[in-house]
Amino acid sequence: MATLVTTITETLRYKGKLGQWSWVLHRVTGLGVVLFLILHVIDTSWAAFYPGQYAKAIGEYQSPLFTLGEFALVAAIIYHAMNGLRIVLFDFKPEWWHLQQKAAMIVLGASVVLLVPTFAIMFGHVLHYYDGNPDLVTISDIIQSQAQFLLGFVVIIAAALLLSLAYALITGETGTPARPNRRPSQFDAWMWRFMRLSGLLIVPLVFGHLAMVHLIQGVFDITTSGHSIVGTDAVNSSGKAVEFVGRRWDYLVAGVAIWRIYDGALLALVVVHGFNGLRYVVNDYAHDRVVRRALTLAIAFGAAALIILGFAALLAGVDETAYGIAKEGLESFSKVPTSPFGG
Ligand code: HEM
Ligand code: HEM
């Protein structure tokens, strides 16, 4: 904790160096996207396993609070990607290191240049949606449903702390190591390469995904009845989000479910990249053995659980009867016990 406070105060004191700020921004944006990703993969799996709950989740995504969050998410991912590309480039071209300051400025400029038209398109979708006086989910509903995620995080971290403590009691390994091992392990060297390679692969995948489901289609068109479904030749006849997801996952090109494969590749890469990034952050701030082991355990468990859940949803797909049920409206959903949290 003390290290975290020192980092923040030192960063604020250490004025003038753009490189320092781009490091902070890279970290903050990466962590923000990881948080979104956790909620997003869990929500998306509901399309397959709890269609009623998925409809509610999409309703929340279409609320003003989440709309603001989506602008922040898009800004975060654009900056993180641009800066990530700069890091990769300079790692492989160390002779250019004297140009770091200039490159950090170019990253900021390029992010703004990309953001202006992107925000303009997103804003167009927002205006169009609010013109139609839609029914909006209330803030208290949103707080209630998001609190369940918070509870989940707390339970996982508490369980990991207990496990780590039990391990420490058995082995006697507690406290902060006197001389931390500075030599990176083989695993860390491998992950260093993976972060760079995965970053490069994520760029087209995540921007393609965002362009499809966020810009071309627009998050609000996911629930527009009679609207064509991006990347397919189908139409959303029920106007429900589960049909949107189901038809995309069932769309075949030469017998291949291309969007399932696409989403699977995106899932595996972003989860491993994002959670390994989370591990870097934990390694920087948590020096106590028990705490660090607990957080590393929680990260490994979280990454494995998300990958299993995401792939389970991709394999299960959306049952077509769910489109019909969804068409009857959200009220009828609330009558069946569909909540994954037992509600
Ligand atoms: C607000 C912007 C976003 C919207 C509206 C959105 C929407 C969707 C939708 C509708 C699906 C269902 C499958 C499909 O249609 O392809 C999906 C799946 C997925 N999205 Fe997004 N997405 C957004 C941003 C992101 C971002 C930034 C990431 C990565 C960091 C991401 C990663 C994924 C993954 C991995 C899946 C597959 C999940 C699974 O296998 O269960 N999405 N998204
Ligand atoms: C869009 C393409 C992306 C690129 C080019 C990229 C690139 C990078 C690079 C080069 C690093 C530094 C790795 C290191 O220090 O060894 C990094 C760190 C990180 N990335 Fe990404 N990334 C991308 C997408 C994402 C996504 C989608 C997430 C979230 C799911 C994410 C989360 C993180 C986190 C949390 C870190 C650690 C930050 C830190 O140590 O300060 N990145 N990224």
Contact 199, 84 (CB under 8 A): yes
Domains and CATH numbers, the chain: 18-134+146-335 (1.20.1300)
Closest CA to 232 of 207, 206, 257: 257
Q: Is the pLDDT of residue 8 over 80?
A: no
Per-range mean pLDDT, top range of 65-69, 133-137, 249-253: 249-253
Higher pLDDT, 233 or 325: 233
Closest-approaching ligand to the CA atom of 58: 1
| CA 254 to each of CA 162, 259, 262, 315, 320: distance values in angstroms, whole numbers, following the listed order | 51, 13, 15, 18, 22
Q: Is the CB of 221 under 6 A from ligand 1?
A: no
Give the pLDDT band of residue 328 (cuts 50, 70, 90): low
Q: Is the CB of 209 under 6 A from ligand 2?
A: no
Q: Is the CB of 40 under 6 A from ligand 1?
A: yes
Q: Is the CB of 78 under 6 A from ligand 1?
A: no
Higher pLDDT, 296 or 224: 296
pLDDT digits (tens, 9 = 90+) for 204-216: 999 999 999 988 8
Q: For position 100, what pLDDT does the model report? A: 87
Q: For position 7, what pLDDT does the model report? A: 53
The tally of CA atoms less than 13 A away on the side-chain side of residue 122 is 23
pTM: 0.90
Q: For position 332, what pLDDT does the model report? A: 44
Q: What CA–CA distance (Å, rounded) separates 105 from 201?
A: 24
Helices (H) and strands (E) in the chain, counts: 12, 4
The terminus-to-terminus CA distance of the chain in angstroms comes to: 36
Instruction: Report the range of poorest mean pLDDT among 86-95, 199-208, 266-275.
Output: 86-95
Q: For position 130, what pLDDT does the model report? A: 86
Q: How many angstroms separate the alpha carbon of residue 63 from the centre of ligand 2?
A: 28
Q: For position 333, what pLDDT does the model report? A: 41
Tell me whether residue 289 is exposed, middle or buried, using C-beta atoms within 10 angstroms of its C-beta: 0 to 12, 13 to 18, 19 or more.
middle
Question: For residue 3, how far is the Cα from the chain centroid?
Answer: 26
